[in-house]
């Protein structure tokens, strides 16, 4: 097994993400966490870029003990001097000197001939090596550089004292096979009496950064460069957590280890996401919110029987507490029963279960995710039997005129008989309650009316709680209604309360029972 070193550039290339600007304190906190995560070198910034960039590199250099700290410099002596000054106090200082070698960069950006670029490499790597024991050199835009010129540039840097050679895929242009071959070609053709470590530095413009980085390892790279969560210029850099976990899970294939403390991965990702303000997509590999979530019935059933059926990474490996089986419209009975049992509903009969599962599917069709609170509400039930068997079925606001609303309430019984009643009120709730009153035709007074959102989000269910008094007996009844629509929840609650009154009037429930439900009644 080979050991692969990890260089993290979240604080340099990661900060090149449009809109990201870490404070010095945030950089220090991230650097400490990166050290804890097992990163072997941190590119803490570009000291010549600004006073804050300089100070951040300087402060991080003072603090880290195990992890090497490096700074970026152009092939410009003042950039190298700035790195030298910023890294004076580092326990393990390194420097990273770069210059572009592709035809388009040399001609248009640098406005230098290839010979001038080779001379600049020789001069500046030598200058850097006089100040640092460990010098990294990058031929920027290496993957669009003509191969023989790339070899010449790299050999020049090695001869001038560089010991790390980074081959950047600056614009995310290469492919895994091509990049693998580039590494093989350079490693086989470079001559040196010192150990030279090659590294990939991949951008994700074509979505191949992780595949390319892993291909470079196959091709002989001994260090990888990237960022946490893949932040960075344009489409970002390779996400180091993906590389680290791929090496672990596919050890058999890559035959390589790293010193990354994998169970610190989630904490590291969370910190960088918070300070960068870039949230991690739910479906992001390794650390996305859905990476260990299974919603479809067949997968949930498999995972309940053995997580290995659908999980190649255990959540614990990357510091996530547990996997999850969120319930949605594609979930199945096994996961539903598991959820019920997790919520303490172990004694539900098979018949009740079938009915609950059917109701759950109807609910799940309406909601993105069915939460624990939804399930509890489902089990608690919200309909109340009454002697006539009529229950609230539907409502419609039929007109709004002169500030008055007209609502039609539809009541239905088990025999599918339907009765519509219509009423007006100064608001939709009042109109609905008036319509329910005219359906039940009994003396009921509404004493209180409360609404609570029982689940979170815009698709939350509303629970309406009403207290009514049977004016003929003085008994107080409480009832609830649950729906996505506040008006429907209100109508359900009020018709449930009326059903209780109706049951009392029919002698089905005695005062004693209703008093038990409400001692003050």
Ligand X SMILES: CC(C)C(=O)C(=O)O
Q: Which residues bind ligand X (CB under 6 A)?
A: 13, 72, 98, 138, 140, 166, 168, 170, 201, 203
Cα–Cα distance for residue pair 477/515, rounded to 1 Å: 8
Binding residues: 13, 201, 203, 237
3-state SS class at 322: coil
Strand boundaries in 321-426, DSSP class E: 391-401, 404-412, 418-425
- 70 part of the interface to ligand ACO, by CB under 6 A: no
Among the listed residues 49, 119, 235, 267, the single contact to ligand ACO using CB under 6 A = 49
Cβ nearer to ligand X, comparing 182 with 461: 182
Contact region for ligand ACO (CB under 6 A) — 71-79, 185-193, 251-259, 265-273?
71-79
Whether 33 contacts 60, CB under 8 Å: no
Q: How far is CA 113 from the centre of its chain?
A: 46
Among the listed residues 91, 109, 274, 282, the single contact to ligand ACO using CB under 6 A = 109
Q: How far is the CB of 484 from ligand X (least distance, A)?
A: 49
Contact region for ligand ACO (CB under 6 A) — 45-53, 84-92, 266-274, 317-325?
45-53
Whether 283 contacts 338, CB under 8 Å: no
Closest residue by Cα to residue 97 from 18, 168, 196: 168
| Interacting partner of 488 out of ligand ACO, ligand X, none (Cβ under 5 to 8 A depending on kind) | none
Residues between 176 and 235 with contacts to ligand ACO, criterion CB under 6 A: 233
Cβ nearer to ligand ACO, comparing 18 with 403: 18
Contact region for ligand ACO (CB under 6 A) — 29-37, 43-51, 88-96, 386-394?
43-51
Q: How far is the CB of 268 from ligand X (least distance, A)?
A: 21
Q: Which residues of 253-281 are buried (b: 16+ CB within 10 A; e: fewer)?
A: ebebebebbbebbbebbbbbbebbebebe
For 480, what's the count of Cα atoms within 13 Å in the CB-facing half-sphere? 15
Binding residues for Mn(2+): 13, 201, 203, 237
Among the listed residues 33, 101, 170, 182, the single contact to ligand ACO using CB under 6 A = 170
Among the listed residues 140, 241, 295, 469, the single contact to ligand ACO using CB under 6 A = 140
Q: How far is the CB of 156 from ligand X (least distance, A)?
A: 17
- What is the helix (H) or strand (E) element at residue 258, kind and residue range? strand 256-258
- 20 part of the interface to ligand ACO, by CB under 6 A: no
Q: How far is the CB of 34 from ligand X (least distance, A)?
A: 17
Among the listed residues 24, 110, 119, 486, the single contact to ligand ACO using CB under 6 A = 110
In the chain, count H helices and then E strands. 18, 15
| Interacting partner of 75 out of ligand ACO, ligand X, none (Cβ under 5 to 8 A depending on kind) | ligand ACO
Cβ nearer to ligand X, comparing 26 with 205: 205
Q: Which residue is nearest to ligand X (CB)?
A: 168
Tokens of 288: 């996305």
Count of CB atoms situated within 10 Å of the CB of 361: 14
> Which residues is 463 bridged to in the sheet?
452, 482
261 Cβ neighbours under 8 A, 6+ residues apart: 36, 37, 38
Contact region for ligand ACO (CB under 6 A) — 41-49, 206-214, 383-391, 419-427?
41-49
- 80 part of the interface to ligand ACO, by CB under 6 A: no
Q: φ and ψ at 289, to 5 degrees?
A: -60, -25
Whether 336 contacts 342, CB under 8 Å: no
Cβ nearer to ligand X, comparing 57 with 303: 57
Q: How far is the CB of 68 from ligand ACO (least distance, A)?
A: 20
- 6 part of the interface to ligand ACO, by CB under 6 A: no
| Interacting partner of 504 out of ligand ACO, ligand X, none (Cβ under 5 to 8 A depending on kind) | none
- Assign 3-class secondary structure to 434-494: HHHHHHHCCCEEEEEEEEEECCCCCCCCEEEEEEEEECCCCCEEEEEEEECCHHHHHHHHH
Residues between 85 and 104 with contacts to ligand ACO, criterion CB under 6 A: 98-99
Tokens of 418: 């339907």
Cα–Cα distance for residue pair 163/493, rounded to 1 Å: 75
| Interacting partner of 201 out of ligand ACO, ligand X, none (Cβ under 5 to 8 A depending on kind) | ligand X
- 132 part of the interface to ligand ACO, by CB under 6 A: no
Give residue for tokens 């090659």.
198
Q: Which residues bind ligand ACO (CB under 6 A)?
A: 13, 16, 46, 48-49, 74-76, 98-99, 109-110, 140, 170, 233
């Amino acid at each position: 097994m080979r050991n692969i070193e990890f260089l993290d550039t979240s604080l340099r290339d990661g900060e090149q993400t449009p809109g990201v600007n870490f404070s010095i304190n945030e950089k220090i906190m991230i650097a400490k966490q990166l050290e804890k995560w097992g990163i072997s070198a941190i590119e803490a910034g570009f000291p010549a870029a600004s006073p804050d960039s300089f100070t951040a590199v300087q402060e991080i250099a003072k603090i880290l003990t195990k992890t090497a700290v490096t700074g970026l410099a152009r092939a410009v002596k003042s950039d190298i001097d700035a790195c030298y000054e910023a890294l004076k106090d580092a326990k393990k200082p390194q420097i990273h000197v770069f210059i572009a070698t592709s035809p388009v960069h040399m001609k248009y950006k640098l406005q230098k001939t290839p010979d001038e670029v080779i001379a600049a490499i020789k001069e500046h790597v030598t200058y850097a090596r006089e100040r640092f024991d460990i010098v990294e050199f990058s031929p920027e835009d290496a993957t669009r550089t003509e191969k023989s010129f790339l070899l010449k540039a790299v050999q020049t840097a090695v001869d001038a004292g560089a010991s790390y050679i980074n081959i950047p895929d600056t614009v995310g242009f290469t492919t895994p096979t091509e990049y693998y071959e580039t590494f093989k070609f350079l490693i086989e053709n470079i001559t040196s009496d010192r150990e030279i470590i090659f590294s990939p530095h991949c951008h994700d413009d074509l979505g191949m950064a992780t595949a390319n980085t892993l291909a470079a390892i196959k091709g002989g790279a001994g260090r990888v460069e990237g960022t946490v969560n893949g932040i960075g210029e344009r489409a970002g850099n390779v996400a180091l957590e993906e590389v680290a976990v791929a090496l672990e899970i596919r050890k058999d294939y890559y035959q390589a280890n790293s010193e990354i403390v994998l169970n610190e991965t989630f904490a590291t990702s969370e910190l960088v996401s918070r300070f960068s303000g870039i949230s991690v997509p739910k479906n992001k590999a390794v650390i996305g919110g859905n990476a260990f979530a299974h919603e479809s019935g067949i997968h949930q059933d498999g995972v309940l029987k053995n997580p290995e059926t659908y999980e190649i990474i255990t959540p614990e490996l990357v510091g996530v507490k547990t996997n999850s089986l969120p319930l949605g419209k594609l979930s199945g009975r096994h996961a539903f029963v598991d959820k019920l049992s997790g919520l303490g509903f172990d004694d539900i009969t098979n018949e009740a279960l079938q009915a609950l599962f059917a109701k759950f599917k109807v609910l799940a069709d309406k909601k993105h995710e069915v939460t624990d609170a939804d399930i509890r509400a489902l089990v608690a039930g919200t309909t109340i039997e009454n002697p006539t068997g009529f229950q609230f079925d539907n409502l419609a606001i039929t007109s709004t005129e002169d500030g008055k609303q007209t609502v039609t309430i539809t009541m239905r019984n088990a025999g599918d008989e339907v009765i519509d009643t219509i009423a007006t009120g100064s608001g939709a709730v009042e109109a609905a309650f008036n319509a329910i009153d005219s359906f039940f035709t009994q003396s009921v007074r509404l004493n209180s009316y409360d609404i609570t959102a029982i689940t979170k989000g815009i698709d939350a269910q509303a629970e309406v709680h009403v207290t009514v008094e049977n004016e003929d007996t003085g008994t107080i009844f409480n009832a609830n209604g649950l729906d996505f629509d506040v008006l429907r929840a209100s109508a359900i609650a009020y018709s449930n309360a009326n059903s209780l009154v109706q049951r009392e009037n029919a002698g089905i429930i005695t005062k004693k029972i209703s008093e038990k439900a409400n001692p003050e009644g």
